[in-house]
Amino acid sequence: MKRTVIKIDEALCNGCGMCVEGCHEGALQLINGKAVMISDLYCDGLGACIGECPVGAIELEEREAEPYSEEAVMERIAPKGEKVILAHLKHLKEHGEKELLMQGVDYLRRNNIKVDLSQVHGQPNAGGIHGGCPGSMARTLKSAGPSVAGAGFAAGGAAISVQAFSATPQVSELRQWPVQFHLLNPQAGYFQGADVLLAADCTSFTAGNFHSRFLKGKILAIACPKLDSNTESYIEKLKVMIDESMINTLTVLIMEVPCCGGLLQMAKIAREEATRNIPIKAIVLSLEGEVKSETWI
C-alpha cells in the first residue's frame, strides 16, 4: 500500500544517532555509521525523528510500504522498559492516534505489563504546556490563551515567548496532526468513521471563522491542486479514506478562483472509483471570505 514513511539521506547523515533515540517505535538503527530504517512495519509516519536530526537528513515521503503494525511495535519496545513504552504512547496521543493508542494499551493489558498510564492520560502540567512533537506543542499553545500570556517554555534549549498570543483566545478546532494532504496516512485512526474537511490552502487565511464555521467536528486535510506535486496520489488516498477508513462525509472547501476547482474534481473522481458512496459537500468562498455557494453533490 502507499503511505507516508520517512526517508533518510545517507549522504547527509552524520551517524549521531539522535534520530534512533527519538524513534520509540524502533524503526531506526545505526548501521555502518549511518541511520537506517530497518522495517516499514515499525514506521508510523508521524515524523518524530525529523526534529531530532541536526543535519536535516530525514524527510517524509509517500511510497509503497508495509502497513504500520502497533502490535509489532509493542512487541519490539516492551522489553526496553516503561520509559520507552510511555514515550511511544504519548507520541500516539499527541498526534490524535486514539485507535493505535488503545491497541497499545490493550497489548499491555493482555501481556500483563505494568506501566503508569496516568503519565499518558493524566492532567497536563502547569499552563497546559507539554513536550512532544512541534505540531502538538503549537496546537496546545494556540488554545491556551491568556493563561500562558507572558510565559515561556524551553524548546531545544531556547526560551520562546508567548506574549504575542491574543488576550481573547480563539479556540482551535484542529483534532489531529499532520494536516498537509501529502503527509497524511489515509488509514490513520482519526479518519475512522470521521467527517473530513478537504480545504484548499488559501481558505483558512481568507475565512476569519475557519475553525468555528468549517473545521469544528471534522478531520482536516489541506492541499493546493495548482502548487502541490503528485496530486494523482490524492485521489488514491481519498479512495482509501472512503472504502477502508469508512469516512462518513467529505466537505470540500475551495476558493472561487478556477484552479481550486481541481480539488473538488479529485473528490468526485475518488467517490466514483470507490466502492462506497458518501455525501460530498462543496463550499466555495469569495476572495473576501464569504460563502458564495454551499451544496451537497
Residue 124's pLDDT is what?
41
DSSP the chain: -EEEEEEE-TTT-----HHHHH-TT--EEEETTEEEE--GGG--SS-TTGGG-TT--EEEEEEE-PPP-HHHHHHHHGGG-HHHHHHHHHHHHHTT-HHHHHHHHHHHHHTT----THHHHS---GGG---S-HHHHHHHHHHHGGGGTT-EEEETTEEEE-TTS-SSPPPP---SS--BGGG--TT-GGGTT-EEEEEETTHHHH-TTIIIIIITTSEEEEE-TTT-S-THHHHHHHHHHHHTS--SEEEEEEESSGGGHHHHHHHHHHHHHSSS---EEEEEE-TTS-EEEEEE-
Least confident of 29-38, 46-55, 156-165, 186-195: 156-165
Q: Is the pLDDT assigned to residue 147 strictly greater than 50?
A: no
Q: Rounded to an integer, what distance in angstroms lies between the CA atom of residue 155 and that of residue 193?
A: 35
Q: Is the pLDDT assigned to residue 249 strictly greater than 70?
A: yes
pLDDT tens sequence across 83-137:
888 888 887 887 778 888 888 898 998 999 998 888 887 644 333 333 445 444 4
Q: Rounded to an integer, what distance in angstroms lies between the CA atom of residue 202 and that of residue 260?
A: 9
Question: Quick check: pTM over 0.85?
Answer: no
Average pLDDT of the segment spanning 187-198: 92
Least confident of 7-21, 40-54, 75-89, 135-149: 135-149
Q: Which band of pLDDT confidence, cut at 50, 70 and 90, is reported for residue 201?
A: very high
Q: Is the pLDDT assigned to residue 282 strictly greater than 90?
A: yes
Cell 543535519, located at residue: 55
Average pLDDT of the segment spanning 45-56: 84
Residue 154's pLDDT is what?
35
Q: Which band of pLDDT confidence, cut at 50, 70 and 90, is reported for residue 138?
A: very low
Please choose, from the candidates 37, 21, 32, the residue with its C-alpha nearest in 3D space to the C-alpha of residue 77.
21
Higher pLDDT, 257 or 91: 257
Contacts of 270 (CB under 8 A, 6+ apart): 234, 235, 236, 238, 239, 242
| Domains delineated in the chain | 2-64 (3.30.70.20), 70-120 (no CATH), 131-161 (no CATH), 181-296 (3.40.50)
Q: Which band of pLDDT confidence, cut at 50, 70 and 90, is reported for residue 272?
A: very high
For residues 58 and 7, is the Cβ–Cβ distance under 8 A? yes
Higher pLDDT, 222 or 129: 222
Residue 122's pLDDT is what?
62
Higher pLDDT, 229 or 114: 114
Q: Is the pLDDT assigned to residue 165 strictly greater than 60?
A: no
Residue 276's pLDDT is what?
95
Residue 50's pLDDT is what?
85
Residue 169's pLDDT is what?
62
Q: Is the pLDDT assigned to residue 150 strictly greater than 60?
A: no
Please choose, from the candidates 99, 96, 93, the residue with its C-alpha nearest in 3D space to the C-alpha of residue 68.
99
Average pLDDT of the segment spanning 70-92: 85
Q: Is the pLDDT assigned to residue 3 strictly greater than 60?
A: yes
pLDDT tens sequence across 10-40:
899 999 999 988 887 788 888 788 888 877 7
Please choose, from the candidates 97, 173, 177, 101, the residue with its C-alpha nearest in 3D space to the C-alpha of residue 136.
177
Q: Rounded to an integer, what distance in angstroms lies between the CA atom of residue 45 and that of residue 62?
A: 9
